Copies of this chain bind each other. A is one copy, B any other.
Amino acid sequence: MLERFKVPEQDRVYVPQERVRAATEAIFRHNGVPEDDAVTSTDVLIKNDLRGVESHGVSNGLRRYVAEYGANSLNPKPEFKVTRESKTTMTVDADGALGIHVGPWAMQVAIDKGKEFGMAAVAVTNSGHLAGCGYYAMMAAEQGMIGHCMTAGGSHQTVPTFGSKPVMGTNPIAWAAPARSMPPFLFDVATTQVANNKIGLARRIGAQIEPGWITDLDGEPIMDPIDPPDTGDYYLLHIGGTRENGSHKGFGLALMNEIICNELSGYGPGPVHGTPGGHFFQAYDIEAFTDREKFLDDMDDLLKFIVDVPPASGFDRVIYAGLVENEDEKKRMKDGIPYHREVIEWFESYCAEVGIECNLR
């Protein structure tokens, strides 16, 4: 994550992960989520926060989820319904579950089927926010497989190349692969220039938006650095930004994601129907293709080769996706997670309001 998105030092409150975990689990339980599922859902958010993926941790997610549970637009006690199944595939109606509720279960099904048949995928419909895709891809990597995850919503945030109106969400995507001694590869990105949550983060911490990240309400790319506009006053651009700089590649990637998450799952086109998330979880069994021990050694060789590339002028080092996340996780397990004090104040005021114990400081 760019330095500008980090919480400024003077606004940081360092919270031990077990404390924010306990408070978050209590909030899920208070909203009707069964105890085991509250633990799993919370783990998605806290792992994101530990890995430095603040845009998909408790800061932006939790108050949204609480509002959605409160408005009955999320089902805290869903019954997952398998609508189609083959040896390597499963399609599931999540019965209005939050994405972080159904996601860990669905990814584990893909992993288990993949171990048996070489590769497998689970498509999930009728579900809420997934909080990014990295967590799920990493579940596979932690079990010695290659993981892949995508999600496509029905929100209209992102303007297609040459277009004037937004038609898709940020349609994020992730892949993860284990190595032997090097930190695992974890590629976890929105198919937009920045995740929409980052605009909110930038607003909270007073950072600026780069040229070519967003458009005005006519779909015209804003090519000057500006303060983050208010929600509703801008649209997002796909990876690349402008056509000359290859935004058709980000747009195509987002559309592929939409096709697999919403059309292949049978959920129907998100841009047309405005339906919430369809998710896709896939796992590859390494042993089905090659010797797993050789794979892990080769991954170490590859990743060492990358970090040994001499940096360009003005930069400290070359990194790969997952390296800094791994370093952040180790550091934050020890020192606590640096939250913006405003986030802590929200936890404390919400917990006081609904009568939950909340001990974050």
Contacts and interface: CB of A to CB of B under 8 A. Distances in A.
Contact of A88 (B88, B210, B260): B88
Contacts of A175: 256, 259
A17 interface: no
A306 B167 contact: yes
B318 A210 contact: no
B312 A263 contact: no
A120 interface: yes
A138 B289 CA distance: 23
Contacts of A252: 187, 189, 320-321
A248 B321 contact: yes
A255 interface: yes
Interface of A: 2, 84, 86-89, 91, 117-121, 123, 146, 159-165, 167, 175, 177, 185, 187, 189, 193-194, 210, 212, 218-220, 239-241, 244-246, 248-253, 255-256, 258-260, 262-266, 268-269, 271-272, 284-286, 288-291, 294-295, 298-299, 301-302, 305-306, 309-313, 315-321
Given A86-B118, A89-B119, A259-B146, A290 B312 contact: no
Nearest to A300: B269
Given A88-B119, A220-B313, A272 B321 contact: no
B271 A306 contact: yes
A288 B246 contact: no
Contacts of A253: 187
A255 B286 contact: no
A248 B164 CA distance: 27
A189 B288 contact: no
In this complex, the member of A162, A301, A313 whose beta carbon has the largest number of chain B beta carbons within 10 angstroms is: A162
A311 B310 CA distance: 43
B302 A272 contact: yes
Oligomer copy total: 2
Given A119-B88, A250-B239, A295-B264, A160 B256 contact: no
Contacts of A316: 162
Nearest to A122: B289
Nearest to A187: B252
Given A240-B240, A263-B177, A249 B89 contact: no
Contacts of A185: 255-256, 259
A289 B84 contact: yes
Contacts of A249: 189, 239, 250
24 contacts: A87-B117, A91-B290, A121-B289, A146-B264, A160-B306, A160-B318, A161-B318, A164-B312, A167-B306, A177-B256, A185-B256, A185-B259, A210-B244, A210-B245, A220-B312, A241-B245, A251-B320, A252-B320, A262-B302, A263-B298, A264-B295, A266-B290, A266-B298, A268-B298
A312 B177 CA distance: 40
A245 B212 contact: yes
B121 A284 contact: yes
A317 B162 contact: yes
A285 to B, nearest CB: 8
B164 A311 contact: yes
B284 A177 contact: no
